[in-house]
Structure 1
Amino acid sequence: MIVFEAVHAKFGDALLLRYEQGRQQRLWIIDGGPAGIWKNFLKPRLGQLRGGAETLTVDLAMLSHVDDDHVNGVLQMIGGIAENRPGAATWLDIRRFWHNSFADLVGSEDAVKAGQASLAGLEQGARAAMAGAGTLAVAGGKLRSHRELAVLASIGQGRELRDYLVQLKLEGNSPFDDVLSSTSGHRDIDGAKVTVLGPRAPRLAALRKAWRNAAGSPAAVAGLFRDDLDDSVPNLSSLVLLVEIGKRKILLTGDARGDDIVAGLKDAMPDVELPMKVDILKMPHHGSDRNMTETFLQSFPADHYVISADGTFGNPEDNTLRAIVASRGPGEDYTIHLTNAIGRLQQLLPEISEGHAFKFAVRGAQDLSVAITLP
């Protein structure tokens, strides 16, 4: 049995994957959502899974990328354990952790330090702008969208997480033991075959060159975090994993772009023909249509589409839901799962489902997660 859960994470991601290997139960934690999610939803759900046991084994925890709506809860979890804070989930026995740190993305700690003076000032300004819902002025322009500000502000969180992982001896992306990218290949992890589809290695090379060129210039550093650029840090850095458990396939996409995911599969699995039917597709970037392409949806038809969003920033966007339906035949049976009931979708979903066989499921108001069970 396989159970995939999208924990209520507001506008972020906090996912759980449970499956059986022989007689042993396996548990993965993927991302931790924004502020408040760890305390109010993710930790309580893990507590339910723990039951009366002394510990709960987490076979794999991972952070798809450094962005506040993914990293905040992970940092609370890991930092609490590392510092043995009051109320920390020290009952979690985390066996391995996957994460590409910012130093991994830009090439080395020396590369980070080369631009650290500019970055430190921008981080502080980004946090202040987020707190006041304002803008961050830099030489040559401004950052104003939540995503631009949040990713820039999260770089410090990522460095803090890396230090905690070193302390807990969880660094290194074992058993890959390297930066995770579309050239990492696949590994067998506790009965699951995991193939890394992203980030794409050519994109990482381009990012490292851009970072070296930007070091020392606040405007150039800030430009790497612009949400309207095809080569922005958020689009480049998300881990994308194809997880195969028996005959089941689960595609974890973080906030990656649809075209990068398709290209990443061709990098990692050049002999595989598309379309590839998957059992569960975690939709990228909370259902934003900016990450969606027709080719992506046609390449990965799914039995279950999962969207973690609460309407913030317009996610999930109407165009994304319409595109999912348009990519499938009217008689095909599949389900769209939503972590939150969003008012405007109450009219849209019945409208786009007319003449189609698909279903939709929404997390119950009292439930901590929306769950999919694959026998």
Structure 2
Amino acid sequence: MKCEIEFMAVGEAAKAGDAIIVRYGEPDAFGLMLVDGGHASTGDRIVSHLRRNFTSRVVLEHVVLTHSDGDHASGLRTVLREIPVRNLWLHVPWLLAEQSRHLFLDKRFSQEGLQNKLMAEYGIVAEILDLAAAAGCKLHYPFAGERIGPFTVLSPSFEAYRYLLPQFDRTPAADQAAIEQAGMWIGKRTVLDRMLEAARAKVQSWTEERWDLERLRDGGLTSASNESSVVLYGSFEKGPVLLTGDAGIRGLTWAANAADALGLPLQSFSFVQIPHHGSRRNVGPTILDRLLGPKRPQGSAPRFSAYVSAPADDADHPRRIVLNAFKRRGGKIIATQGVDRCHNAGFPGRAGYGPSEELPFFTTVEEYT
């Protein structure tokens, strides 16, 4: 099976997002899949792009929302209004809340009370569901082991999601002790945490890095919502594809465990999405070695394409320290940075897309602060 993966340019300044169009099958018989919809303004661009390239009668076989953050969900409202969608895959926090109710700190919540609270916090997801129901779209939960066209969901499992849900930034307080007892505590970022991150970004300092001196560290932490991102493993004739959303080290580790259990080979990808716009909190040397393989000698030819979605004028993403880590392990690094990018693996070439410029290895990278 052939594939074509288009990364739409999403966001400006520090407002990154994701919108990925996948074509799969054969030139005369293919399906279309959309993974995430970017910001609200991205929806119109997706609709125009689909109609221009696949006719006004275009149909999306599958739409996947990797997680409920606005920079991934907002544009899907326009897509669902304008384009027929057969299957919608997403996690719905309030419909899955009953299985997590005992993991919230306030034990007085009834099932209905908790569901109403969560529905109020995730208004964009509620709109998406209403639009999908009105259009007769089939709803599915993308948990580990599910098949979505040529893709297999690797993460999250249902068990992982029910522990993550109380730890989302917009859900009521979690019962930390109960979640820690299960070894699933990630923690919520407070307003102070976010303020400190923003302050550190403004005073970013730089340090030297060499091919044989990797400064990326293990132990990075991202939000529980990011860790709930749907991780997809695609099986194609020119090699497997890995789409990661905003997953962090936990989510990627769960994905690697699932791939092993399902007999899906790692370290042989033809295409990999660099998670969370190239954030250094989402990856580390150990998980990259497991997913991509060990570091290669300097000067080795690239083994796979590694795409990252980041605005052209975002000073903080993608992190050079992360791009270097993917390059050491055989990645040809391509960034959107204000330009739509297309990875073609078997389909005829498309007008408007030429070879994408590969980012270099950087000899100065961000210092940890």
- TM-score band by shorter chain is 0.5 to 0.7
Which residue does the alignment assign to 1:113?
Answer: 113
Which residue does the alignment assign to 2:337?
Answer: 340
1:199 partnered with 2:156: yes
Which residue does the alignment assign to 1:129?
Answer: none
Per the TM alignment, residue 296 of structure 1 is displaced from its structure 2 partner at its CA by 2.6
Q: Distance in 1 between matches of 2:69 and 2:147?
A: 26
**Corresponding residue to 1:14 among 13, 19, 29:** 19
Q: Distance in 1 between matches of 2:262 and 2:64?
A: 28
Deviation per CA, 1:258-292: give whole Å up to 9, x if none. Answer: 34213223135426486431111111111111101
Distance 1:113 1:76, change over 3 A: farther
CA contact (8 A) 2:34 2:60 kept: yes
Q: TM-score, normalised by structure 2?
A: 0.66
Which residue does the alignment assign to 1:65?
Answer: 67
Per the TM alignment, residue 105 of structure 1 is displaced from its structure 2 partner at its CA by 4.6
> How do 1:1-375 and structure 2 match up within 5 A?
1-10=2-11, 11-21=16-26, 23-39=28-44, 41-51=45-55, 54-78=56-80, 81=81, 89=82, 92-107=83-98, 111=111, 113-114=113-114, 116-117=116-117, 120=120, 123=121, 155-173=122-140, 179-182=141-144, 185-187=145-147, 189=149, 192=150, 194-207=151-164, 215=172, 224=188, 226=190, 232-267=223-258, 269-270=260-261, 272=263, 275-301=266-292, 303-310=304-311, 311-312=313-314, 314-328=316-330, 334-340=331-337, 363=339, 369-375=340-346
Q: Does the residue aligned with 1:312 lie in a helix, a strand or coil?
A: coil
Unaligned runs of 5+ in 1: 82-88, 124-154, 174-178, 218-222, 329-333, 342-362, 364-368
CA contact (8 A) 1:16 1:29 kept: yes
Q: Distance in 1 between matches of 2:266 and 2:76?
A: 33
CA contact (8 A) 2:94 2:118 kept: no
Matched AA of 1:28? M
Per the TM alignment, residue 307 of structure 1 is displaced from its structure 2 partner at its CA by 0.3
Distance 1:267 1:117, change over 3 A: closer
Unaligned runs of 5+ in 2: 102-109, 175-186, 195-219, 293-302, 347-369
Backbone CA RMSD of aligned residues: 3.1
Deviates more, 1:9-18 or 1:229-238: 229-238
Per the TM alignment, residue 172 of structure 1 is displaced from its structure 2 partner at its CA by 2.5
Per the TM alignment, residue 163 of structure 1 is displaced from its structure 2 partner at its CA by 2.1
Deviation per CA, 1:113-161: give whole Å up to 9, x if none. Answer: 32745985xx5xxxxxxxxxxxxxxxxxxxxxxxxxxxxxxx2111221
CA contact (8 A) 1:180 1:239 kept: yes
CA contact (8 A) 2:94 2:114 kept: no
Q: Distance in 2 between matches of 1:261 and 1:323?
A: 16
Per the TM alignment, residue 17 of structure 1 is displaced from its structure 2 partner at its CA by 0.7
Deviation per CA, 1:350-375: give whole Å up to 9, x if none. Answer: xxxxxxxxxxxxx3xxxxx2111112
Q: Distance in 1 between matches of 2:116 and 2:316?
A: 34
Q: TM-score, normalised by structure 1?
A: 0.65
CA contact (8 A) 1:107 1:208 kept: no
Distance 1:115 1:293, change over 3 A: same
Matched AA of 1:187? R
Aligned-residue sequence identity (percent) comes to 23
CA contact (8 A) 1:254 1:285 kept: yes
Matched AA of 1:235? N
Matched AA of 1:298? D
Q: Distance in 1 between matches of 2:118 and 2:165?
A: 16
Distance 1:107 1:280, change over 3 A: farther
Matched AA of 1:16? I
Task: Identify which of structures 1 and 2 has the higher relative contact order when contacts are C-alpha pairs closer than 8 Å and 6+ apart.
Answer: 2
The structure whose residues are more often helix, as a share, is 1
